[in-house]
Amino acid sequence: MLARHNPQLNKHGELIHLLSTEGLSRDMLTHILDTAAQFVGVSEREVKKVPLLRGKSVFNLFFENSTRTRTTFDIAATRLSADVYTLDIARSSTAKGESLLDTVANLSAMAADIFVVRHSKSGAPYLLAQHVAPHVHVINAGDGRHAHPTQGLLDMYTIRHYKKDFSGLVVAIVGDVLHSRVARSDIHALTTLGAAEVRVVGPRTLVPGDLAPMGVRVCHTLEEGIKDADVVIMLRLQNERMSGALLPSSQEFFQSFGLTSERLRWAKPDAIVMHPGPINRGVEIDSQVVDGAQSVILPQVTFGIAVRMAVMSIVAGNEA
């Protein structure tokens, strides 16, 4: 039987789109992280630019609200010397009923080279990747509940930066796993990179029952979930994606699953605390933890620029 083709790769196994961390090999993930490491120092230069994407056009298509992701993609593309265009969706033809494929076809006619796409519908970036010209690349900046691969990659970069190696690590992902595309991207990357144990932690209403086949341990109490963990990744409650009463209240969630300084002591003394943002202080995480010595939340954002520079430079260097 022929192996199922990974739409992110060309026939040579090179990355031409980034749609998900799922299906990427350990070597490919490591290559992206190693490339990102070369870009971290760019932000410390007086001239924060390299010419790798000079003459290329990057179009940011954000059909959902975003601050960190959109801004870091803007900065990353600019530092690669690309021409960057961010579509105002509220005033675009899409808001008037134009289909996503027609919008992209029209932008492609304007000599687009890379589309960075965030969309509320799972699979939208895959659809675009199937219809763009061979020289055009699609990067998924978050699709529905499905995937957020660049966030997953910057999380992996952050973990590797502070912990050096994935083998032997216990990583706990805590909170609204049900609605989190970040959680899925992190799980695929962590298991591929060889983390010793990945735990998903939260109330039964917010942790899907089908995650065990992904190689994770499901925990329904915070103490069990973060006990002796090396890394604790907190997720926000995504109330905008919830239908029905999945929680009595955010206050009750904090009483059971909110990360406080006292509860953080259940993890290892040198455990790092991460969060993809935006942060709801006092809902999933206490301010003392956010601003505390074990928090690496702001470095995550900084590393995100380098990771997105790496992804864009890699895909732009390969042809379908």
**Binding site residues, as ranges?**
68-69, 96, 118, 148, 151, 181, 236, 277-278
CA pseudo-torsion sign 159, 161, 163, 166 = positive
* Interaxial angle between packed helices 26-40 and 297-316, expressed in degrees from 0 to 180 and rounded to the nearest 10: 110
Q: How many CB atoms lie within 10 A of CB 202?
A: 28
Coil, strand or helix at 77:
helix
> Residues with Cβ < 8 Å from 181, sequence gap 6 or more?
142, 143, 144, 145, 146, 147, 148
Q: How many CB atoms lie within 10 A of CB 121?
A: 13
User: Can you read off the two tokens belonging to residue 175?
Assistant: 């909170």
Binding residues for carbamoyl phosphate: 68-69, 118, 148, 151, 277-278
| End-to-end alpha carbon distance in the chain | 23
Binding residues for L-aspartate: 96, 181, 236
Burial class (CB in 10 A: 0-12, 13-18, 19+), 267: buried
83-86, strands of its sheet edge to edge:
83-86, 57-62, 114-119, 137-143
